[in-house]
Amino acid sequence: MRLENKTVIITGGGTGIGFACAERFHKEGARLALFGRRKEVLRAAAKRLGPDVLAVPGDITREDDVDMLVELTLKQFGRIDVLVNNAGTLGGWPLHETSSDAWDEVLNTNLRGLFLLTRRVLQQMVKQQSGSIVHVSSILGLVAVPQTGAYNVSKGALNQLCRSIAVEYGPMNIRSNAICPGMVETDMTEALRANEDMMTDWKEHYYPMRRFARPEEVANACLFLASDESSFITGTLLPVDGGFTAM
């Protein structure tokens, strides 16, 4: 029960890595507030976990929705101990063909929206003089691949935001860490993984473990950084990538 009596907000909590975190954290005693855009998916996820899980539908790029999430969480649980910044979107185009709207959509979700929620949660954590923030970044915040310029930039900036929070709020006992997964077998990557020839090539040439991650493997890393087991770890960028960035 590593998160017993701790309140955790998980964005993008209805599917994929977010739901895997919700399942793992709930088993460890956490009181959960799940946030996401797809109302029915989110509520179904909360129902699977139990009646004590709060589901708050909303859009992370909207300040009113972010404020509502924090207010409802505090009303029900009284504090916020952990924030898992998992909400995000992919986008793949040659840079010279990337529209301004497409660029803005990726950056607004992956960076600006994350900033809006983190800023609001930090206000509460400063009052408490404690907290742990876990950002779900990507290996593409550490290295770059072609045709994902907006995504690369959003995750690279997120990694620097993670470190900025760590150095600014460390004196207040607030920790900030990021995990950087490689390819994870989730709904978000399903279309990409449908290209079997390309996926076989990737596994053979870029992933020393010759496979992709399961969501629960990423959730385990998130749990470690969220819990007191990592109490002297802050500002770190942890690859969860089967050796991709070691190549």
Q: How far apart are CA 87 and CA 135, in angstroms?
A: 9
The per-residue DSSP string of 41-90 comes to: HHHHHHHHH-TT-EEEE--TT-HHHHHHHHHHHHHHHS---EEEE-----
Distances (CA, A) of 148 to 66, 98, 153, 193: 27, 10, 9, 16
Any catalytic annotation for residue 151?
yes
Beta-carbon contacts of residue 152 (< 8 Å; ≥ 6 apart): 140, 141, 144, 145
Q: How far apart are CA 81 and CA 66, in angstroms?
A: 17
User: Which residues are paired to 56 by β-bridges?
Assistant: 35
194: left (phi over 0), alpha (psi -120 to 50) or beta: alpha
Query: What is the 8-class DSSP label of residue 93?
Result: B
Catalytic residue chosen out of the listed positions 151, 169, 206, 207: 151
Query: What is the 8-class DSSP label of residue 96?
Result: G
* C-beta atoms surrounding 230 within 10 Å: 18
Q: How far apart are CA 51 and CA 40, in angstroms?
A: 15
Give me 168's structure tokens. Answer: 């600014």
At which residue do the structure tokens 């020839």 appear? Answer: 197
Q: How far apart are CA 135 and CA 86, in angstroms?
A: 6
Active site residues per annotation: 151
